[in-house]
């Protein structure tokens, strides 16, 4: 069987109907519910955490990065919406890639989506734990012990570093007061005070484990219950965000907006990964297609409405917090609470923000935990995963086994994961999925006979626009690198093969890919919106650094081993009648 054998739209819809005869999903979702799911996924870590680091790097001009990222995601969202209206099943980017590129690419993207939904939820669970434990400490006389709010390896690493600093002569007071060492103390105390179990230190993030179990139980229970919980949490989040914007606007000092881009474009682009991480998750809406009352009408609207609403809120929040305090002070984990604690009359609002952050993180987990089981369900229907993954609970009408496995997959890494590495790998997997979905729309439109989706982005011929963008942008991208390579004091081989040179390989790959794509756009007259989506997402992928590409490649290699050892042999594609 060919690795690139494709499914037709008729095959997918017929196969979905056959699968539903053995247990269909409950249809409860309308456009308001889908929009709420999108907002629940997007307004989370970004607005309550990573916006601080991005603002500190880029200054008030970080709003341009939010707008650029929103545009890139909107271009991708048009592609998702077009596919969702053409193929209203629960496979999301996995199913779309099956139609456009064939089985191997479908498996790769399904494997990559595990990082976005399941592994990405590890990051959200740990962030939720941080906010929750801080809230407990600040509002009650109780505190969660350090050894119950960290993973073992982080605690051990911090303990070793603090012990080394003490051997050099620093005392604990000096370590606690140091800007670069203060964050090591919690891990040191966790490892120092942790109880022993079977000869090992017992250290794990208990709140993160608990919230994962609760969310998994809710998702297992049913889509209706998940929808109701999501809608309630979204209302809380939006009310708090609007309150922050309205109240904070009265305390804005416009002098804090000068300079608007203090660190230039380079400083602005430092925050690209953090800002993009704020937007991922909107595509999870498409995994609920089989639970929508009218997916071909409501899915495109829900996807686009959620991005528009969240972008407006992100830009407004960024302007308010950079206007209330100087951007250089915002490199903190809880920027919204921090900003309002700076004003004595607004400290009450800091507590409100802390509570809403706990709610926000929980809603993000809910949407991510909904998405992953439905991807696995679709892959199982195709034979690429064992049949148990497509089992539908007879009472709750949810993919029960897949939901449990997703909960386990989130729970296990919580004990040992490096949160920063997981965030970057998650962003890489998501951007890769976005690129394939945008490319899939272009691929299908290259055919002479294509099914017309009920929703389609307006066609704008990119024949001249894409090559023109290439000619304008590439000299700017190349200038810094060429200056380094061909400077008088540089050895070309040394620069190219040093770590600094290797780190530029993703950028060089983008330039080469952009050149090839420009030729194709000229030849095939690509539609502009999905073409811009592919270019923007590929560019952001190239800015994640070569180490993240290596981590992502290692993840894909593991997935390919599973594919060739199991999935290819059990694929049902050859048994589906045309």
CATH number of 30-139+208-440: 1.20.1740.10
pLDDT of residue 17 exceeding 60 = no
In the chain, which segments carry CATH 1.20.1740.10?
A: 30-139+208-440
**Least trusted range by pLDDT, from 174-183, 383-392, 464-473:** 174-183
pLDDT digits (tens, 9 = 90+) for 474-513: 776 666 555 444 444 444 444 444 455 566 778 888 889 9
Query: How far apart are alpha carbons 353 and 335 in whole angstroms?
Result: 10
Give, rounded to a whole angstrom, the gap between the first and last alpha carbons of the chain. Answer: 16
- The whole-model pTM stands at 0.80
For the chain, what is the mean pLDDT?
80
Q: Give CA separation, 369 vs 438, 516, 569, in Å.
A: 24, 37, 29
Q: pLDDT category, 224, cuts 50, 70, 90?
A: confident
- For residue 49, what are the contacts with CB-CB under 8 A and spacing of at least 6? 127, 333, 334, 335, 357
Whether the predicted pLDDT of 578 surpasses 50: no
427-431 mean pLDDT: 79
What is the per-residue pLDDT for 496? 46
Distance separating alpha carbons of residues 399 and 377, to the nearest angstrom:
7
Return left, alpha or beta for 294; rule: phi > 0 is left, psi -120 to 50 is alpha, else beta: beta
Is 171's pLDDT higher than 60? yes
Query: Burial of 496 by CB count in 10 Å (0-12 exposed, 13-18 middle, 19+ buried)?
Result: middle
Q: What's the pLDDT tens digit per position in 273-328?
A: 667 767 777 777 777 777 788 877 888 888 888 888 888 888 888 888 889 888 88
Q: What is the pLDDT of residue 404?
A: 93
Residue that the structure tokens 């064939």 belong to: 102
Which range (104-118, 311-325, 557-571) has the least confidence? 104-118
Q: So what's the pLDDT on residue 298?
A: 84
pLDDT at 87: 78
Q: pLDDT digits over 233-248, tens only?
A: 888 888 888 888 888 8
Cβ pair 55, 327 in contact under 8 A: yes
């Amino acid at each position: 069987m060919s690795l690139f054998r494709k499914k037709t739209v008729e095959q997918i819809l017929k196969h979905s109907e056959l699968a539903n005869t053995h247990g269909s999903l409950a249809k409860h979702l309308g456009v308001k519910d889908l929009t709420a799911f999108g907002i629940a996924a997007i307004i989370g870590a970004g607005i309550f955490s990573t916006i601080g680091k991005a603002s500190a790097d880029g200054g008030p001009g970080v709003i341009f990065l939010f707008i650029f990222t929103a545009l890139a995601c909107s271009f991708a969202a048009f592609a998702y919406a077009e596919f969702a209206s053409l193929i209203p099943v629960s496979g999301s980017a996995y199913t779309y890639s099956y139609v456009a590129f064939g089985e191997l690419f479908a498996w790769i993207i399904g494997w990559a989506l595990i990082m976005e939904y399941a592994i990405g939820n590890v990051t959200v669970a740990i962030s939720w734990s941080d906010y929750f434990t801080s809230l407990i400490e600040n509002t009650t006389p109780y505190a969660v012990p350090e050894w119950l709010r960290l993973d073992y390896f982080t605690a051990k690493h911090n303990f070793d570093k603090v012990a080394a600093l003490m051997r050099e002569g620093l005392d604990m007071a000096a370590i606690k007061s140091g800007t670069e060492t203060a964050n090591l103390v919690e891990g040191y105390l966790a490892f120092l005070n942790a109880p022993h179990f079977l000869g090992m230190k017992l250290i794990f993030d208990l709140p993160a484990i608990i919230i994962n179990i609760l969310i998994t139980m809710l998702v297992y229970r049913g889509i209706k219950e998940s929808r109701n919980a999501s809608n309630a949490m979204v209302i809380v989040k939006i009310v708090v965000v609007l309150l922050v914007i309205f109240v904070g606007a009265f305390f804005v000092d416009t002098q804090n907006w000068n300079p608007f881009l203090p660190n230039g474009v380079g400083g602005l682009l430092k925050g690209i990964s953090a800002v993009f991480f704020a937007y991922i998750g909107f595509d999870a809406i498409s995994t609920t297609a089989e639970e929508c009352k009218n997916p071909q009408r409501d899915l495109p609207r829900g996807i686009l409405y959620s991005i528009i609403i969240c972008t407006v809120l992100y830009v407004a929040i960024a302007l308010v917090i950079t206007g209330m305090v100087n951007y250089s002070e915002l490199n903190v984990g809880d920027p919204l609470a921090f900003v309002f604690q700076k004003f004595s009359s607004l400290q009450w609002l800091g507590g409100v923000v802390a509570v809403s952050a706990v709610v926000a993180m929980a809603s993000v987990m809910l949407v991510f935990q909904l998405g992953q089981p439905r991807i696995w369900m679709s892959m199982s229907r195709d034979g690429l995963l064992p049949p148990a993954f497509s089992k539908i609970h007879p009472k709750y009408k949810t993919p029960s086994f897949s939901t449990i496995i997703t909960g386990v997959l989130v729970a296990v890494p919580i004990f040992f994961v490096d949160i920063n590495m997981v965030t970057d790998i998650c962003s890489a997997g998501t951007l890769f999925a976005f690129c394939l979905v945008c490319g899939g729309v272009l691929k299908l439109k290259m055919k002479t006979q294509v099914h017309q989706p009920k929703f389609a982005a307006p066609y704008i011929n990119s024949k001249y626009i894409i090559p023109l963008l290439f000619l304008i942008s590439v000299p700017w991208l190349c200038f810094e690198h060429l200056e380094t390579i061909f400077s008088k004091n540089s050895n070309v081989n040394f620069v190219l093969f040093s770590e600094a040179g290797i780190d530029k390989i993703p950028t060089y790959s983008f330039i080469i890919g952009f050149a090839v794509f420009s030729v194709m756009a000229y030849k095939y007259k690509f539609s502009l919106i999905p073409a811009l989506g592919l270019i923007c997402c590929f560019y952001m992928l190239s800015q994640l650094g070569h180490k993240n590409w290596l981590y992502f490649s290692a993840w894909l290699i593991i997935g390919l081993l599973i594919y060739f050892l199991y999935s290819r042999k059990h694929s049902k594609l050859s048994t589906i009648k045309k």
